[in-house]
Amino acid sequence: MSKFSDKFREEFPEFVAEVSSAKDAELDSRLSALAKSLEEVRETQEADEGLAEAKATASELGAPYRDAKKAISAKSRFIVELLKERGKV
């Protein structure tokens, strides 16, 4: 078994027991229902105005940090490139 299967069996033993004995047609039906549920959650998430506002706020607040990390990374990379050109790395 894969690591995923092992972990999943530990986290959702009731679901595993339920679907393990199901026939293929029933599994197809369950898979379809799960896909619909996932789409409903995505649609609800997209319509959540509070979440959208929180994401926008987080993005605004994080911008200076992202910019600083990007600049520091670029400077570090440039120094490494210089050292490579000089045969030091």
Residue 57, pLDDT score: 98
Residue 89, pLDDT score: 82
How many structural domains compose the chain? 2
- Burial class of residue 30 in the structure, from the number of CB atoms within 10 Å of its CB (0-12 exposed, 13-18 middle, 19+ buried): middle
Instruction: Give domain status of residue 55, yes or no.
Output: no
Instruction: Give domain status of residue 85, yes or no.
Output: yes
Is the pLDDT at 1 greater than 90? The verdict is no
Q: Is residue 40 domain-shared with residue 67, that is, in the same domain?
A: no
Q: What is the mean pLDDT of residues 15-38?
A: 97
Instruction: Give domain status of residue 52, yes or no.
Output: no
Q: What is the pTM of this model?
A: 0.65
Instruction: Give domain status of residue 54, yes or no.
Output: no
Range of 7's domain? 1-47
| Residues 27-76: tens digit of each pLDDT | 999 999 999 999 999 999 999 999 999 999 999 999 999 999 999 999 99
Q: Is residue 41 domain-shared with residue 67, that is, in the same domain?
A: no
Instruction: Give domain status of residue 68, yes or no.
Output: yes
